């Protein structure tokens, strides 16, 4: 019959509508999402969105393990005299401290760019 829709709406047959996935698709693990762009340049951002208008400095692009990232975050918090955290591959420091953070990271030998804000 022309114009008839042969789409199955409901069935009690558990095998109906299942698609067999090829073995290659079952074995392939999805790639983990990248925490940020790591190109050898550390970028220090200023953000205000979603924080009630309060500025935060965000350090992105560091290729460090989580323990080293947390240690660096602690050192930057002491340098700036404020709070912050290290999570998801980036360091968040409360307030606009981009210049201090950039100086500290350059002293460690990183290439730093100020971005955002």
Residue-wise pLDDT tens digits, 39-55: 788 999 999 888 888 99
When divided into structural domains, the chain yields a total of 1
Q: Does any domain span residue 82?
A: yes
57 pLDDT above the threshold of 90: yes
Domain CATH for 54: 3.30.780.10
7-11, 76-80, 94-98: range with lowest mean pLDDT: 7-11
Q: The pTM is what? A: 0.65
Beta-ladder partners of 84: 93
- Write down the pLDDT at residue 115: 85
Q: Does any domain span residue 14?
A: no
58 phi and psi angles, rounded to 5 deg: -120, 130
Q: Does any domain span residue 101?
A: yes
Q: Does any domain span residue 2?
A: no
* Residue 75: band (very low, low, confident or very high) from pLDDT cuts 50, 70, 90: very high
- Summarised one tens digit per residue, pLDDT across range 93-113 is 999 999 999 999 999 999 999
The boundaries of the domain holding residue 57 are: 41-115
Percent of the chain whose pLDDT exceeds 90: 51
Q: Which residues have C-beta within 8 Å of that of residue 86, sequence separation ≥ 6?
A: 66, 69, 70, 72, 73, 92
Mode of pairing for the β-strands spanning 41-47 and 56-60: antiparallel
């Amino acid at each position: 019959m022309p114009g008839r829709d042969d789409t199955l709406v409901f069935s009690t047959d558990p095998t109906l509508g299942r698609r067999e996935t090829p073995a290659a698709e079952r074995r392939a693990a999805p790639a983990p999402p990248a925490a940020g762009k790591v190109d050898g340049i550390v970028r220090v951002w200023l953000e205000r969105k979603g924080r009630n208008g309060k500025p935060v400095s965000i350090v992105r692009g560091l290729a460090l393990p989580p323990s080293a990232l947390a240690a660096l975050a602690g050192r930057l918090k002491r340098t700036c005299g404020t709070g912050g955290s290290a999570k998801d591959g980036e360091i968040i420091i409360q307030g606009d401290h981009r210049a201090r953070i950039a100086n500290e990271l350059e002293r460690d030998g990183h290439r730093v760019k100020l971005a955002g804000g």
